[in-house]
Amino acid sequence: MRNEQEMMELILSVAKEDERIRAVYMNGSRTNSSVSKDIFQDYDIVYVVTETDSFLKDEGWIDVFGERLMVQEPDKNDKGAGGDFTDFYGYLMLFTDGNRIDLHIETMNHLKEHYGKDKLTVPLLDKDDCLPDLPEPTDEDYHVQIPTEQDYMGCCNNFWWCQQNVAKSLWRDEVPYAKFMFECVIRRDLDQMVSWWIGMQTDFTVSTGKVGNYFKDFLPAEYWDLYESTYSDSKPEHIWDAMFAAGELFRTLAFEVAERFLYTYREKDDENMTSYLKQVRSLPSHAKSIF
């Protein structure tokens, strides 16, 4: 596997030798000092180019970066081959040695509108002094934000309300919808509450990562164990167990968040829905009424 020095030398040498490429900058995890380095980190690179058309016409120009396992061109996937890629285009490349480069080409017009909006941006090469000065990279835009009362109340309400969708799906033996509602809707609110709680413990100076990647780093062992138990397989009884575990963790953290910000945790919603869930879980498959 090519090391970081080899990859960066390759990325910059390609840019230096190609007159169409006028500047290079990087963003993403490799510019974030808060993220531990590992072998799976991407190289998030932007080439500032004079135009995109000649690159797009030469489908093999990216071969210089190495033998690929696979490439994705998300702009083409989204817009089709006939889309307008005049100012911006991307190549996501996974190589046979395990390295990955997420490479974008952009024109000066696109640069002027977008450069520096990501505060994890680091300039690497500037042939024409076209890259404006930037402060030191920071991940502050990704830090957990203090919840407003409306944010908090909406999160609590949606977390408990949507659980009845899981309950009825499990009773109907409709596992796909039950899993969808739990993992794609309810977990979003659970993760938000976990993030707010972590924010409280860290004075809102950290990121919890994409979809809670860093929860384990910040949660006490007992909370992390409970969070892990919110994941289940497809067996209905295990989904029920996971949902009740999610409720236990959510109420514990939500009480503390409410106390910190002087918000009101609607205990009645919690109590009523928990009672409802227990009732539905105990219903026989031939039941004619819920209560």
| pLDDT tens column, 141-152 | 999 999 999 999
Scan for tokens 């952009």, then name that residue: 106
At 34 the pLDDT is 86
Whether 181 contacts 165, CB under 8 Å:
yes
Cα 34 to Cα 206: distance, rounded to the nearest angstrom: 9
Residue 74 three-state SS? helix
Mean of the pLDDT values across residues 81-107?
94
Residues 26 and 120 in one domain: yes
Neighbouring residues of 45: CB distance < 8 A, sequence distance ≥ 6: 11, 24, 25, 26, 101, 102, 103, 104, 124
Q: What pLDDT digit, counting tens, does each position of 119-171 carry?
A: 999 999 999 999 999 999 999 999 999 999 999 999 999 999 999 999 999 99
Helix residue spans in 149-235 (DSSP H):
149-161, 163-171, 175-180, 187-201, 215-218, 221-228
Residues 151 and 276 in one domain: yes
Q: What pLDDT digit, counting tens, does each position of 168-209 carry?
A: 999 999 999 999 999 999 999 999 999 999 999 999 999 999
At 183 the pLDDT is 97
Residues 127 and 247 in one domain: no
Whether 234 contacts 176, CB under 8 Å:
no
In the listed set 122, 140, 158, which residue is the last one of a domain according to the structure?
140
What does residue 82 show for φ and ψ, rounded to 5 degrees? -95, 15
39, 10, 167, 195: which is closest to 103 by C-alpha?
10
At 70 the pLDDT is 97
In a domain, 289, yes or no: no
pLDDT at residue 80 greater than cutoff 90? no
CATH number where 177 lies: 1.20.120.330
Global pTM?
Answer: 0.90
In a domain, 98, yes or no: yes
Q: What pLDDT digit, counting tens, does each position of 15-35 carry?
A: 999 999 999 999 999 999 888
In the listed set 140, 172, 191, which residue is the last one of a domain according to the structure?
140
Our count of domains for the chain comes to 2
Residues 126 and 171 in one domain: no
In a domain, 287, yes or no: no
Residues 33 and 117 in one domain: yes
Residues 8 and 116 in one domain: yes
Mean pLDDT in the chain?
A: 96
At 82 the pLDDT is 73
Q: Strands 100-106 and 88-95, how do they pair? A: antiparallel
Q: What pLDDT digit, counting tens, does each position of 244-291 carry?
A: 999 999 999 999 999 999 999 999 999 999 999 999 999 999 999 999
Mean of the pLDDT values across residues 226-241?
97
What does residue 159 show for φ and ψ, rounded to 5 degrees? -60, -50
Cα 175 to Cα 180: distance, rounded to the nearest angstrom: 8
- Ordered DSSP codes for 223-284: HHHHHHTT---S-HHHHHHHHHHHHHHHHHHHHHHHHHHT----HHHHHHHHHHHHHHHH--
Structural domain that includes position 20: 4-140
Residues 155 and 132 in one domain: no
Q: How confident is the model at residue 83 (pLDDT cuts 50, 70, 90)?
A: confident
In a domain, 288, yes or no: no
At 79 the pLDDT is 84
In the listed set 75, 105, 140, which residue is the last one of a domain according to the structure?
140
Length of the chain: 291
